[in-house]
Amino acid sequence: MDLGLNETHHMLRNSAREFLQAECPDTYVREMEESERGYTPEMWQKVAEQGWLGLIFPEEYGGVGLSYLDLSVLLEETGRALLPGPFFSTVVMGGMAILDAGSDAQKQELLPQISDGQHIVTLALTEPSARWDAEGVQTTATQSDDSWVLNGIKLFVPNAHVADTFVVAARTGEGEQDITLFLVPRGTDGVSQTLLKTIASDRQSELAFDNVSVPASAVLGEVNGGWNTVEKVLAWGAIGKCAEMVGGAEQVLDMTVEYAKQRTQFGRPIGTFQAIQHHCANMATDVEGSRYITYQAAWRLSEGEDATQEVAMAKAWVSDAYRRICALGHQCHGAIGFTKEHNMQLYSRRAKAAELAFGDTDFHLEVVADNIGL
């Protein structure tokens, strides 16, 4: 059984790593944590020129036409480099929602602009209830003649401060899954945005909708049919986040192994001590296990197969594994690993944020338990 990547995957990984090492060093990541925007327009355009923003979109919509597994390979590298900016929210969340549910006219209008780096989108889904099921959507949309009026609060909307379009999930009926998606342009009357402080400094916002009126043409997909798309986006998002975590975890392992070779204690490198060796061995095992469970789920998503079980298993496992890897990395580094000047804290903070994104471990373990008949 060949569980390895093909030539295209290796070329994509190598080119992405080379680009990110040159354009996204840790100094850039740290600088962007302190900036208001969180990334530079120059860097965003360079990402677009790499073809990454349209990697998964069909060629007819200005994209490259690759698979979700290909995108997962790329996300592993962006997670390794801690790429700041709205790449994940624009491509995996907002862009994939438009690709899945949009009319041909909507896709022809928006996807080429996204691919060229000229349009940023994000998904406004989560609310104060912090739930990931349809019942958690309490923002309402009421039909009024040829328009819809939205009211409600969305929390932790990624990169809303720079998004040109919000893909908003709102309740449009009495049924549990009567959810509709709407395309709401930035600057629409009644929309207010407030930046939130987050552990990963990743520019998430609260969005408030106060009698926001949008035309009927703003409906993305079918009325009361949006939850099917949301479920797909949650699966794509969970596995995309897993891929980022795998990349980050591998970088933590590499940093720790390198430190263990250089740091001396009692006249020899600490990497010669069995305790450190076993810590690093456990980290390496977690990295590889996380990678393969992620790729398995990404492959099933790429093939259009039901991946409910695989996605839940991957998100639960990788979230815990990344946390374990960071904890062992801190332990092996000792005091220096807990300083702000060291890069370990950059990964640990993002590990915690990723663990909570698209459902935490307990949420996904419940999905697995349900799928095995418990």
User: How confident is the model over 299-310, as pLDDT tens digits?
Assistant: 999 999 999 999
Kindly tell me if the per-residue pLDDT of 2 is higher than 70. Answer: no
Number of helices followed by number of strands (H, E) in the chain: 12, 10
Residue 1 lies in a domain: no
Q: Are residues 327 and 282 in the same domain?
A: yes
Residue 83 domain-assigned (yes or no): yes
| Residue range 199-252, pLDDT digits in tens | 999 999 999 999 999 999 999 999 999 999 999 999 999 999 999 999 999 999
**pLDDT tens figures, 138-180:** 999 999 989 999 999 999 999 999 999 999 999 999 999 999 9
Q: What percent of the chain is modeled with pLDDT above 90?
A: 97
Average pLDDT over residues 335-351: 96
Read off the pLDDT of residues 173-203 as tens digits, 9 standing for 90 and up: 999 999 999 999 999 999 999 999 999 999 9
Shared domain for 297 and 217, answered yes or no, is: no
CB atoms near residue 211 (< 10 Å)? 10
Of 224, 249, 264, which marks where a domain is finished?
Answer: 224
Same domain (yes/no): 242, 320: yes
Q: Which one, of 173, 168, 101, 169, lies nearest residue 142 by Cα? A: 173
The overall average pLDDT reported for the chain is: 97
User: Partners of 193 in the beta sheet?
Assistant: 207
Domain assignment of residue 2, yes or no? no
Quick one: average pLDDT of 337-341?
Answer: 94
Same domain, 97 and 156: no
Q: Do residue 361 and residue 311 come from a single domain? A: yes
CA distance 275 to 179: 53
Cβ-contact 109, 164 below 8 angstroms:
no
Say if residue 26 is exposed, middle or buried (CB neighbours under 10 Å; 0-12, 13-18, 19+). Answer: exposed
Looking at the DSSP bridge assignments, the partners of residue 157 are 205
Question: Rounded to an integer, what distance in angstroms lies between the CA atom of residue 84 and that of residue 81?
Answer: 9
Q: What is the CATH number of the domain that holds 45?
A: 1.10.540.10
We report the CATH number of the domain holding residue 307 as 1.20.140.10
pTM listed for this prediction: 0.96
Residue 1 has pLDDT above 60, yes or no: no
Cα–Cα distance between 150 and 207 in angstroms, integer? 12
Kindly list the distances between the CA atom of residue 132 and the CA atoms of 49, 105, 363, in Å, as whole numbers in the listed order.
Answer: 34, 30, 9
Based on the fold, state whether residues 296 and 239 are members of the same structural domain.
Answer: yes
Are the CB atoms for 250 and 322 separated by under 8 Å?
A: no
User: Which residue pairs from 175-179 have beta carbons closer than 8 angstroms and sit at least 24 positions apart in sequence?
Assistant: 175/224, 176/134, 176/135, 177/134, 177/224, 177/227, 178/224, 178/227, 179/134, 179/137, 179/224, 179/226, 179/227, 179/230
pLDDT of residue 3: 63
Q: What is the pLDDT of residue 5?
A: 82
Q: How many other β-carbons are positioned within 10 Å of the β-carbon of residue 343?
A: 17
The residues pairing with 182 across neighbouring beta strands, listed in sequence order, are: 168, 219
Residues 327-335, mean pLDDT to the nearest whole number: 97
Give the pLDDT confidence score for residue 4 in this predicted structure.
Answer: 72
Please tell me whether residues 56 and 109 are part of one structural domain: yes
Boundary residue ending a domain (181, 198, 224):
224
Strand, coil or helix: 269: strand
CA 13, 251, 321, 126: dihedral to nearest 10 degrees?
-70
pLDDT at 257: 99
Residues 256, 360, single domain; the answer is yes
> What is the count of structural domains for the chain?
3
Measure the N-to-C terminal CA separation of the chain; round to a whole number of Å: 31
For residue 138, the 8-state DSSP code is -
Q: Tell me: do 61 and 128 sit in the same domain.
A: no
Place of tokens 């354009």: 23
pLDDT tens digit sequence for 31-54: 999 999 999 999 999 999 999 999
**What CATH number is associated with residue 137?**
2.40.110.10
| Measured distance CA(71)–CA(98) in Å, rounded | 17
User: Do 317 and 289 meet the contact criterion of CB atoms below 8 Å apart?
Assistant: yes
Domain boundary among 97, 118, 139: 118
CA angle 42, 238, 137 (to 5 degrees): 100
Instruction: Determine the structural domain holding residue 75 and report its residue range.
Output: 7-118
DSSP string, 60-109: GGTS----HHHHHHHHHHHHHHT--SSHHIIIIIIIHHHHHH--HHHHHH
How does strand 121-124 pair with strand 165-171?
Answer: parallel
Sequence length of the chain is 374
